[in-house]
């Protein structure tokens, strides 16, 4: 999940959904409430830990932080020096994940099927409108950084919506991954640490607030929600089409190129173009393999635990 969350266009929530831990994650986070605080105040540590599913959350948090820290520097380099091949990988990952999320809808009636189709189409349209917009210029100040953290984490735990991509649109992705990359090498300033801490605080606040709403929606309207999420994922493919053109020079930093990039069809297919398509196909197959392994290990998807609407 940490590796996925650091990649623009890929959702850690999708990974959790495919691997069958999504409902447990949302439920655990949503239990940070007045009941839990009451247990802590009464020093009922064991009951509080069980309510929070603490062992699960600690193990998951360590894994997410490890994956994010380990991949941040790599992603920074790949986006700078191998943009088209990296986008090809995103394209394959998202396409396969979208199909898997669509399979999880499982409508029980023809009317429900048509509702899923319409909601999915609406999701495609909304996602296309979102990703086709120009990025927002980075606004200075820790307040904007806090807001970006709130928005980014909400998307990161929502299957089909990439928090990293939203951070890219908000012009914060490159800054945050750059700080994480430098932090791994102990090369950060006090300003960098302040930015990272405020961003992390925004993530915490957004996560606690959003998880309760998300749990309610998944329990009450599961089928419709998954249809919309599938549409979001398919619609977002427009932005990660491997072949992009823009007004900035090809040797400009990715941050400058990303602002004006838009999908194009290659004039001719040579070795580079076929390599990009091969990368996309490999990532597509990889997601399907992960799903097959998860199912073989009896890790049931969330669809088997949440009643359909």
Nearest alpha carbon to residue 237 among 136, 130, 158, 151: 130
Which residues of the chain fall short of a pLDDT of 50? Answer: 298-309
pLDDT (0 to 100) of residue 255: 62
Measured CA to CA, the distance from residue 179 to residue 195 in angstroms comes to 9
pLDDT (0 to 100) of residue 137: 56
pLDDT (0 to 100) of residue 309: 38
Q: In degrees rounded to 5, what are phi and psi of residue 243? A: -100, 115
Cβ partners under 8 Å of residue 282, min gap 6? 92
Domain boundaries, the chain: 2-240+272-304
Classify 268 as helix, strand or coil. Answer: coil
For 12-58, the DSSP string reads HHHHHHHTT-HHHHHHHHHT-SHHHHHHHHTT-HHHHHHHHTHHHHH
Q: What is the pTM of this model?
A: 0.66
pLDDT (0 to 100) of residue 300: 44
Measured CA to CA, the distance from residue 212 to residue 275 in angstroms comes to 43
Measured CA to CA, the distance from residue 38 to residue 36 in angstroms comes to 5
pLDDT (0 to 100) of residue 189: 87
Q: In degrees rounded to 5, what are phi and psi of residue 150? A: -60, -45
pLDDT (0 to 100) of residue 199: 93
pLDDT (0 to 100) of residue 42: 92
């Amino acid at each position: 999940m940490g590796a996925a969350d650091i990649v623009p266009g890929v959702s850690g929530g999708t990974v959790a959904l495919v691997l069958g831990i999504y409902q447990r994650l949302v439920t655990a986070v949503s239990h940070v409430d007045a009941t839990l605080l009451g247990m802590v105040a009464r020093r009922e540590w064991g009951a509080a830990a069980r309510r929070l599913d603490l062992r699960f959350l600690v193990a998951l948090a360590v894994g997410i932080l490890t994956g994010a820290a380990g991949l941040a520097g790599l992603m920074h380099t790949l986006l700078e020096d191998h943009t088209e091949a990296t986008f090809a990988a995103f394209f394959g990952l998202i396409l396969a994940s979208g199909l898997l999320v669509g399979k999880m809808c499982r409508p029980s009636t023809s009317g429900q099927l048509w509702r899923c189709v319409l909601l999915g189409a609406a999701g495609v349209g909304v996602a296309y409108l979102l990703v086709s917009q120009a990025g927002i210029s980075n606004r200075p100040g820790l307040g904007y950084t806090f807001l970006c953290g709130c928005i980014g984490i909400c998307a990161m735990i929502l299957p089909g919506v990439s928090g990293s991509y939203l951070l890219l649109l908000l012009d914060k992705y490159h800054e945050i991954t750059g700080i994480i990359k430098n932090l791994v090498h102990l090369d950060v300033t006090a300003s960098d640490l302040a930015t990272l801490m405020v961003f992390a605080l925004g993530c915490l606040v957004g996560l606690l607030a959003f998880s309760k709403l998300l749990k309610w929606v998944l329990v009450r309207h599961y089928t419709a929600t998954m249809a919309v999420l599938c549409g979001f994922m398919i619609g977002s493919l427009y932005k990660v089409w491997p072949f992009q053109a823009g007004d900035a020079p090809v040797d400009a930093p990715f941050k400058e190129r990303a602002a004006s990039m838009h999908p194009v069809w290659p004039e001719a297919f040579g070795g580079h173009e076929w390599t990009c398509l091969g990368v996309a196909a490999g990532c597509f197959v990889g997601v399907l393999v992960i799903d097959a392994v998860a199912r073989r290990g009896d890790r049931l998807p969330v669809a088997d635990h949440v009643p359909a609407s």
